[in-house]
Amino acid sequence: MTIQEIISVEESNRDKIFLYKEGIFLKAYDRSAFLFFYYIKNYAIKSKYYKNVNLQVRSLGFPASSFDTVLRNRFSYSHEENKIVISDIEPIDLDDYELWTKETGEKPIEKYLKVIYKAKKL
């Protein structure tokens, strides 16, 4: 999946964790990273600026081989093409998410949506 596709999924995500298979790692982005960090494990959050979407994107990752150990059968999940979806998560508190984005020094994902909206109006 491209970063644009991932951001599109994340912008409406409130109650799922999407883990994307990237090489030998599983990675969660933005809201999924927040939910993973909050409910499952406090892995280090990394940030990367993507010029093509004009946005800093937060992510966390871990080896795919440690998935079962990390999850410890606490949540149900399904396998989809190149990703795992953890679905029985409490809905995200948008105020907590906004605070988290500020604490990690990054712009909220909504900035990306404003850019898309402006582009569509042109």
Structure-derived torsion over alpha carbons of residues 113, 114, 115, 116, reported in degrees to the nearest 10:
50
Residue 105's pLDDT band, with cuts at 50, 70 and 90, is low
Q: Which amino acid is at 41?
A: K
Q: What is the pLDDT of residues 43-86, one digit of tens each?
A: 988 888 899 888 889 999 999 999 999 988 888 899 998 999 99
CA–CA distance, 96 with 93 (Å, rounded to integer): 5
Question: Structure pTM?
Answer: 0.80
Where would I find the beta strands (DSSP E) of the chain? 17-22, 25-29, 46-50, 55-63, 77-80, 83-86
Q: Examine the pLDDT at 96 and tell me if it is beyond 90.
A: no
Q: Examine the pLDDT at 100 and tell me if it is beyond 90.
A: no
Domain ranges within the chain, ordered by starting residue? 3-121
If you average pLDDT over residues 28-39, what whole number do you get?
93
Q: Taking Cα atoms as reference points, which of 58, 39, 53 lies closest to residue 103? A: 58
